Amino acid sequence: MKCATGRIPDLRQSPSMAAGSGWEVFFLAVSGVAAALAGLIFVGLSINLDHILETPGLHLHGLEAVLLLVMTLALALSALVPVQTVGIFIGETALAILVLTAIAIASTRPMLAVRRQYAASFALKVASAIVVIGSLALSAITAGDRTTSFAWLAVAMILSIISASMKGWQLLVLIELDNPSRRR
């Protein structure tokens, strides 16, 4: 790919948004953690797929856990992309907000019918969605100030990883509790 001068650009001299700010190592670590956890949850879902598909609403727990980790991975990697503009970064963050909001709403709807039974889970889901989506929004709003924007993005990523891990655990517990061979 050649630029207007006819020369091939040297991407080594086009740093990512995170370059030189101390955030590169953080985003690399988050990428590895999010990818590993997404893989583990995916394997857990695959092993129990028949049961998950037979139980109404259970697949949404798995989708939410994996999606939180995949969005975290995508945002961490996008911060490391060379020649990333603030506008593109804001667009990627806005897309993550839209997708996470849609999934949070879709996976919360079945819980509304049984709110009393899962009151603590429902409250945790709503609180984590508000905090993660709010942190992402603040990251996009403050994108002109890289340090502040990345700090809010870090909050969203850490909370997403914690939330996804909790959702994965909750899913495994629900599968075991609903497993007829485990009942006594």
Q: At what angle do helices 146-177 and 24-47 cross, to 10 degrees?
A: 20
Q: Yes or no: say if 148 and 159 are a contact pair by the CB < 8 Å rule.
A: no
For 117-133, the pLDDT digits (tens) are: 566 666 777 777 788 88
pTM of the model: 0.77
Confidence of residue 33 (pLDDT cuts 50, 70, 90): very high
Two structure tokens written together for 171: 């899913």
The predicted-structure confidence for 62-114, as pLDDT tens digits, reads as follows 888 898 899 899 989 888 887 777 788 888 888 888 888 887 777 776 666 65
Q: How far from 118 is each of 114, 115, 124, 174, CA to CA, in Å?
A: 7, 5, 10, 11
Q: What is the pLDDT of residue 121?
A: 67
Nearest to 65 by CA among 183, 168, 170: 168
The type of residue at 170 is Q
